[in-house]
Amino acid sequence: MSQFMQYLTHLGPFELTGVIGFFVYITMFGAVQLGLMDGNSNAYSLGNVAAASLVAISLIQEFNLASALIQGSWIVIGLIGLGLRLWKAWPSTRRVLNATLETEVL
């Protein structure tokens, strides 16, 4: 185990960024599988976009086309999903904001 810890202490900034992205992926997936998070939630999408972004950043040091395509797709799909959820929620959000503003003005 000490060799593993020694290896971790010698990671460069890009490798470390990728490892952090891995842990974010695993945390999000584990939370969904254990019922702690909804797989259709904004938090899950944000976590996946963040994880994919971190792994994509790590590819700057050692580029891998397949991994870059996967991470790029994950980022785009995650952002589209977030955008769609926010778009659908906008009418109710706008009503709440308007009601809050009206009560504050009165």
Distances (CA, A) of 34 to 31, 39, 44, 55: 5, 11, 13, 24
Q: What is the pTM of this model?
A: 0.79
- Encode pLDDT of 16-66 as tens digits: 999 999 999 999 999 999 999 999 999 999 999 999 999 999 999 999 999
- Does 1 score more than 70 pLDDT? no
